[in-house]
Structure 1
Amino acid sequence: MSFDYDLFVIGGGSGGVRAARVAAQEGAKVALAEEDRYGGTCVIRGCVPKKLMVFASEYSAMVGDAQAYGWDIKGGAFDWDSFKAKLHAELDRLEGIYRGILKNNSVTNYDSRATLVDAHTVALADGTQKTAKHILIATGGWPTVPEFPGSDLAITSNEMFHLEKLPEAILIVGGGYIASEFAGIMNGLGVKTTQFYRGTQILRGFDEEARNVVAAGMIESGIDLQLETNVVSMVKDGDKIRVTDTKGNETLFDQVMYATGRHPNADNLGLEALGIARGKKGEILVDEYSQTGVPSVYAIGDVTDRANLTPVAIREGMAFVETVFKGNPTSPDHELIPTAIFTQPEMGTVGLSEEEAAAQEPIEVYSASFKPMQQSFAGRAQKVLMKLIVSKANRKVLGCHIVAPGAGEMIQLAGIAIKMGATKEDFDRTVAVHPTMSEELVTMKQPSRTT
């Protein structure tokens, strides 16, 4: 049977575009459909614009630091309109690059929604149908707002990059990394920021000591972090939103942003008619090679809800091409993924938390907490944490957790050593780079505790 294409990709985010490009470079005839903007969550409404907003928000503290270092400079107001225009120009530029990647590799692109008709056929929004030997679903995820009285007044992270003006006061609901990052951003931009989280501490699932240091730093910087608190109802009150919380308080905010969860973007794709199974969160269920129950249909990235990170989606796309187009069955590696959380203070982590490691074997914990030289000289007191989790049995470093300026940059390099199976003695044999914060990772000689 002849097909229109060797591969049809649904979704133009980082994973889908990478898979399309590499498959085309292998000689495959490839098409890709995207109903929104090319670049996906990361480029258009996620990590890239968010990181630029993090950078913008960090300058507010730098003025005071510079003055402490002897610079005669004065702080000014933040111009949201000016920044937003540059931000969206940059996103347009990046989207152009993604479109260019497809064009330069002879990938046919359709600016259209695509759904599955059968195991080898997709339908575009205008009703035309295309056939393909293989179909790859890379449709990503989407933020959700739970239903409650007034929930329609809430916005999500998607809308944060398009605000007409900066709010004077904002409530951010959620305790994950997206909520906590935006709390830092808004606070740094001069917005009165409140964060509600229904649990006992933010960043659930991460190392407890590191979570506590991040939360303390956020509170110290002026964020009103209210734990074990949730929204009961919201009503419009003039130009503001009146929020009633579980503690019985009523508070007025200009905006309420929800970051309490994301769901896989897999509804109304035609999966059910083909018998493609989905999990309890709606994710597409795949095997170790990203293959669904229908042999010609694969899925990668956030729509599979495995490890929802852009570099992981890209790795899954590469593994898919290795498996299907190079005849080299390759399973994407989801072990020991380094991660940065761009909260303020920033956090980097790889491997097991102290709690996870202690539950599986006897461990030693090495940690150092101190005030970093640069900020300490300027009179700022946010603490830094450097922490290693070490197996007693084989001395391997099972986890590394850093809370510090530049933690994301540091954890990338620590991740290489830990992925290679470095032991505590390997770290100890490495000469310290002085004076740096990260030298603490190689100078901690005595465990702070053992379990």
Structure 2
Amino acid sequence: MSVYDLDLFVIGAGSGGIRAARTAAELGARVAIAEPRQLGGTCVNLGCVPKKFLVYGARYRDDLSEAPAYGWSVPEPAFRWGRLIANKDAQLTGLRQHYERLLRAAGVTIIHGCARLVDAHTVAVDEARYTARFIIIATGSRPMRPDIPGQELAVTSDEAFSLPHFPKRLVIVGGGYIAVEFAGIFNGMGAHTTLIHRGTLVLRGFDDDARGFLAEQMQKKGVSFRFDTEVNALTRIPGGSRVSLSTGEDLEADLVMVAIMSINPRFHRFMPSAMSLIASD
């Protein structure tokens, strides 16, 4: 008879955690998975899935503007951000329910709550404790804000998917693919979009010809760039923020988004002593 309540306890129900829990359960293991927020993790809730939904929404602006040339009579279009976000949320709810059905069908116990390591084989969720032969930490990470005055005034990609209002003037800080994707999305929906990057060109590490071509095409679509530039500070002003740049220029924006490609692991819930126990076990 096993001395543990479970064979496997998974902390975090994102893509990695769900897959590990399902696979182990389908092979006969006794498995539980804990998640304090929504099933699906970054990909389903704050990453590739909702991002694609917004990308699809952004492309219609060009399609509608070109439609008359192909014989279509299109009434004056009106973009409604709230409707897009509500429909996106409905799609994500269905996907999360699908993941829940898959986990339960495999025999995985789903625990809604914040898990904390007690020792190398014990996990606490609220007042309950569970013992397991193996524990998988699959808690993912979260975006970082730059260490500058006023950083709390900026949002990250996590918040960008559920903004209460559509920003007419948007400043994005960063030059990686997340910054570039969101610049294209918001510009496509009609926002005056400026991307600030400390490098000479976006998408470092990608093919140079592709990087140059993409930047050129984005500029033709209306995205403004500030290369070789850093943000010194953000200051609150009526209706938005003032962005003070290293070049001496100041920009005003309804919203500032940081996408600097730096992430923090979500280890804040774990005690260092527990981590040491796992590392040495």
Quote the residue 1:82 is aligned against. Answer: 83
Runs ≥4 residues deviating over 2 A: 64-75, 270-274, 292-295
Q: State TM-score, norm by structure 2.
A: 0.95
Say whether the 8 Å CA contact 1:63–1:75 is kept in structure 2.
Answer: no
Q: Give the partner amino acid of 1:242.
A: R
Map 1:153-302 → 2, pairs under 5 A:
153-260=153-260, 261-275=262-276, 293-294=279-280
Aligned residues between the structures: 279
Quote the residue 1:39 is aligned against. Answer: 40
Quote the residue 1:7 is aligned against. Answer: 8
Q: For 2:33 and 2:272, locate their aligned partners in 1 and report how far apart those are by CA, in whole Å.
A: 18
Q: For 2:204 and 2:109, locate their aligned partners in 1 and report how far apart those are by CA, in whole Å.
A: 42
Deviation at 1:294, TM superposition (A): 4.3
Q: For 2:250 and 2:190, locate their aligned partners in 1 and report how far apart those are by CA, in whole Å.
A: 22
Amino-acid identity (%)? 44
Quote the residue 2:59 is aligned against. Answer: 58
Quote the residue 2:117 is aligned against. Answer: 116
Q: Give the partner amino acid of 2:30.
A: K
3-state SS of paired residue (2:164)? coil
CA 1:240 to 1:122, structure 2 compared with 1: closer, same or farther past 3 Å? Answer: same
Say whether the 8 Å CA contact 2:115–2:269 is kept in structure 1.
Answer: no
Deviation at 1:21, TM superposition (A): 0.7
Q: For 1:210 and 1:271, locate their aligned partners in 2 and report how far apart those are by CA, in whole Å.
A: 44
Q: State TM-score, norm by structure 1.
A: 0.60
Map 1:361-372 → 2, pairs under 5 A:
none
Say whether the 8 Å CA contact 2:170–2:257 is kept in structure 1.
Answer: yes
For structure 1, the residue ranges without an aligned partner over 5 or more in a row are 277-291, 296-451
3-state SS of paired residue (2:37)? coil
Q: For 1:272 and 1:144, locate their aligned partners in 2 and report how far apart those are by CA, in whole Å.
A: 25
Q: What is the CA RMSD across the aligned residues, in angstroms?
A: 1.5
3-state SS of paired residue (1:6)? strand
Deviation at 1:127, TM superposition (A): 3.0
Q: For 1:82 and 1:104, locate their aligned partners in 2 and report how far apart those are by CA, in whole Å.
A: 33
Q: Give the partner amino acid of 1:77.
A: A
Q: Which has the larger radius of gyration?
A: 1
Quote the residue 1:134 is aligned against. Answer: 134
Deviation at 1:36, TM superposition (A): 0.9
Deviation at 1:22, TM superposition (A): 1.1
Deviation at 1:2, TM superposition (A): 1.3
Deviations 1:334-391 (A, max 9, x none): xxxxxxxxxxxxxxxxxxxxxxxxxxxxxxxxxxxxxxxxxxxxxxxxxxxxxxxxxx
Deviations 1:269-321 (A, max 9, x none): 23554427xxxxxxxxxxxxxxx7445xxxxxxxxxxxxxxxxxxxxxxxxxx
Say whether the 8 Å CA contact 2:157–2:259 is kept in structure 1.
Answer: yes
Deviation at 1:187, TM superposition (A): 0.1
Q: For 2:140 and 2:220, locate their aligned partners in 1 and report how far apart those are by CA, in whole Å.
A: 35
Deviation at 1:94, TM superposition (A): 1.2
For structure 2, the residue ranges without an aligned partner over 5 or more in a row are none
Q: For 1:2 and 1:188, locate their aligned partners in 2 and report how far apart those are by CA, in whole Å.
A: 58
3-state SS of paired residue (2:264)? strand
Q: Give the partner amino acid of 1:203.
A: L
Say whether the 8 Å CA contact 1:6–1:28 is kept in structure 2.
Answer: yes
3-state SS of paired residue (1:275)? helix
Quote the residue 1:104 is aligned against. Answer: 105
Deviation at 1:227, TM superposition (A): 0.8
Say whether the 8 Å CA contact 1:29–1:107 is kept in structure 2.
Answer: yes
Say whether the 8 Å CA contact 1:116–1:271 is kept in structure 2.
Answer: no
Say whether the 8 Å CA contact 2:170–2:255 is kept in structure 1.
Answer: yes
Q: For 1:259 and 1:272, locate their aligned partners in 2 and report how far apart those are by CA, in whole Å.
A: 32
Say whether the 8 Å CA contact 1:156–1:259 is kept in structure 2.
Answer: yes
Q: For 1:216 and 1:272, locate their aligned partners in 2 and report how far apart those are by CA, in whole Å.
A: 51
Deviation at 1:268, TM superposition (A): 3.2
Deviation at 1:10, TM superposition (A): 0.3
Higher relative contact order (CA 8 A, sep 6+): 2
Deviation at 1:106, TM superposition (A): 1.4
